[in-house]
Amino acid sequence: MTTDPAPPLVFLVGAGPGNPGLMTVRGAEVLSRADLVLYDQLVPERLLDLAPAHAVRMCVRDLPGNHPDKYPHIHRTLIETASAGKTVVRLKGGDPLIFGRGGEEAEALRAAGLAYEIVPGVTAALAAGAFLEIPLTHRMHSSAIALVTGHELPNKPGNKLDWKAIAAFPGTLAIYMGIARMPVIAAELLKYGKPADTPAAIVERASTGDQRSAYATLGTLEEVRRQAGLEAPGLIIIGEAVAQRPEHPWFEGRPLFGQRVLVTRPAHQAGGMVRKLEHLGAVVSRLPAVEIRDVDNFASVDRALGQLRHGEWDWLVFTSANGVHALLRRLDTIGRDLRDLGGVKLAAIGPKTAESLREYRLRADVVPDTTFSSEGLAGALKPHVAGQRVLLARANRGRELLRTELAKVATVEQVTVYDQVDVTAPEGAVLDALRRGEIRFVTLPSSSIAKGVLAAFDETINGRVERGEIKLIVISPETGKAVRALGYPVAAEATTFTEDGLIEAVLALARQK
């Protein structure tokens, strides 16, 4: 930053149209050093994960002094925070300067003498083009595109849209904020001679698994919208280009398109699964049921590390990626390194845990072939450990099976290297979505997570599970057993006990319908 004469403290960043993958790399970069993220309501929640843990995340809706048509409180927050030397990211839907008041916010910053940077974003019209496969410009059918607001402020002096000119515009019209006024807009265009049979499209939530679209002509737009039940906010696209789209746009053919899936992994570990599901077209909600924390007291971990260094253990066994990271982080923290593990053999319960070891350039000597569970690991290890000394690195809670099985042939001790703690106040909005039947698949990646999630369910949600409207999908028979023991039906069990196996099980269920 020393090469930068006046490093800006405020960034007006376009978050893109709703699909979290569509924010720019620059946007992600500045977000990763924000102290405050001030975001619009339509911004995808998952982007907030890119901000550092300490950052304050605030939706403009929740700012004090909020008023639907007045924005000075936003300007004030930006200015006060930046003046205190903090980095502020103002995250706005789509592009900040397209119907986003980004210009007004920049003006307020200029007036306050504050440096800022503007990071563009994918605006809704461009996302609709890509995700509905409407060629917004087309050599034969459209040589121009106009971005138009359907919500012109009636009191804007002398600045009314010229609908006559818009009707005559020789290209594609993308009308933002126009759904509520569609009858008026269509009437204006027809009045000024735009043909009633001009192809038109309406789309809600373009670029997300929630995307819904309908196709009509200028003359039938409102009727078609009502039939399809599309509501604001949405985008209207009018022009010959609309007719050039294929019948089945690529995105809507994704295998989980429109399916609502709940991911219950701990917040910091949910990202990979969320991305994979979104890529398959799903709408993903998150309900972290447990959190991973450091142990309160490292004395026994440090003692175990000392014993490993002195060759007192033949085997070190990991039953989760969390365990690998916790133990190796501690090794580093106390000023030691991997050479301390030089003499010990390593075992991992499954591919994910083995992969975590690989991040430290360590190879597991034993990983079960197909059954990634305590049973599988016990079976795979037993032939190797007879008469040897085995240390299990594990969480504060979990099953005893591995220890009791191995203890039949070896000397076994366990050391708790991290704590799993129930999340005390689960996300109310997600529980509401479950109550309303808006989430169909609930993925349960371990018994302890399943217990936490099911404890948060109430009668309404339980009723939906019983009627099969909400389907519980478990990672393994063991987790299935835990779920059934709590009185819940299991809709599907993964056949490979991994995250990918869990996703496969969701896919298989979705295909059935």
For residue 27, what are its two tokens? 């946007």
Which of 87, 142, 207, 446 contacts ligand SAH by CB under 6 A? 207
d(CA 48, CA 251): 24
- Please identify, using beta-carbon distances, which residue of 100 and 239 lies nearer to ligand SAH: 100
Q: How far apart are CA 331 and CA 232, in angstroms?
A: 54
Stretch 155-184 residues interacting with ligand SAH (CB under 6 A)? 176-177
Nearer residue to ligand SAH within complex by CB, 99 or 488: 99
Query: Is the Cβ of residue 127 or residue 434 nearer to ligand SAH in the bound state?
Result: 127
Least spacing, CB of residue 250 vs ligand SAH, in Å: 17
Q: In the complex with ligand SAH, which residue's Cβ is closer, 98 or 261? A: 98
CB of 98 to ligand SAH, least distance (A): 4
Q: Residues 359, 365, 367, CA angle at the centre, nearest 5°?
A: 85
What x/- string results for residues 2 through 31 when contact with ligand SAH is judged by CB under 6 A? ---------------xx-------------
Considering only 200-208, 356-364, 473-481, 488-496, which stretch makes contact with ligand SAH by CB under 6 A? 200-208
Taking CB under 6 A as the criterion, the residue among 206, 290, 391, 430 binding ligand SAH is: 206
* Residue number closest to ligand SAH, CB atom: 94
Distance separating alpha carbons of residues 353 and 269, to the nearest angstrom: 13
Cα(452)–Cα(186) distance, integer angstroms = 52
d(CA 174, CA 17): 14
* Per-residue mark of binding to ligand SAH, 440-459 (x: CB under 6 A): --------------------
Q: Which residues contact 6 (CB under 8 A, 6 or more apart)?
A: 115
What's the min distance (Å) between Cβ of 209 and ligand SAH?
A: 12
**DSSP run (H or E) holding 286:** strand 283-286
Site string for ligand SAH, 77-106 (x = CB under 6 A): ---------------xxxx--xxx------
Cα–Cα distance, 124 to 471 (Å, whole number): 33
Q: State the minimum distance, in angstroms, from the CB of residue 137 to ligand SAH.
A: 18
Estimate the crossing angle of helix 221-228 against helix 182-191, to 10 degrees: 160
Site for ligand SAH in 218-237 (CB under 6 A): 233-235
Token pair in block for residue 494: 């993964």
Least distance to ligand SAH, CB of residue 170, Å: 23
> What's the closest the beta carbon of residue 204 comes to ligand SAH, in angstroms?
6
205 makes contact with ligand SAH (CB under 6 A) = yes
Which stretch in 156-164, 202-210, 432-440, 463-471 sits in contact with ligand SAH by CB under 6 A?
202-210
Mention every residue, 6+ apart, whose C-beta is less than 8 A from residue 506: 256, 259, 261, 277, 282, 441, 443, 473, 492
CB distance 476 to 505 below 8 Å? no
Q: Site size for ligand SAH, by CB under 6 A?
A: 23
**22: its two tokens:** 């569509």
Token pair 């690195």: residue: 393
Which one, 148 or 392, has the nearer CB to ligand SAH?
Answer: 148
Distance from the Cα of residue 13 to its chain's centroid: 18
* Window 111-140: residues binding ligand SAH (CB under 6 A): 123-124, 127-128
Q: For residues 235 and 316, which CB has a smaller minimum distance to ligand SAH in the complex? A: 235
CB of 92 to ligand SAH, least distance (A): 6
**Closest approach of Cβ 173 to ligand SAH, in Å?**
13
Amino acid in the structure at residue 270: A
Residue 506 backbone class (left: φ over 0; alpha: ψ -120 to 50; beta: rest): alpha
Closest CA relative to residue 331, chosen from 398, 414, 390, 415:
415
**For ligand SAH, the closer CB: 206 or 510:** 206
Does 376 bind ligand SAH (CB under 6 A)? Our answer is no
Pick 98 or 367: Cβ nearer ligand SAH: 98
Query: Dihedral angle at the C-alpha atoms of 368, 372, 375, 377, nearest 10 degrees?
Result: 40
Please choose, out of 54-62, 132-140, 203-211, 384-392, the segment that lies near ligand SAH by the rule CB under 6 A: 203-211
Q: Is position 266 an interface residue for ligand SAH (rule: CB under 6 A)?
A: no
Q: Which SS3 state, helix, strand or coil, does residue 50 take?
A: helix
Residue 51: which residues within 8 A CB-CB, separation 6 or more? 31, 32, 34, 37, 57, 89
Residue range at the interface with ligand SAH (CB under 6 A); choices 198-206, 221-229, 251-259, 325-333? 198-206
Task: Note the residues at the interface with ligand SAH (CB under 6 A).
Answer: 17-18, 92-95, 98-100, 123-124, 127-128, 176-177, 203-207, 233-235
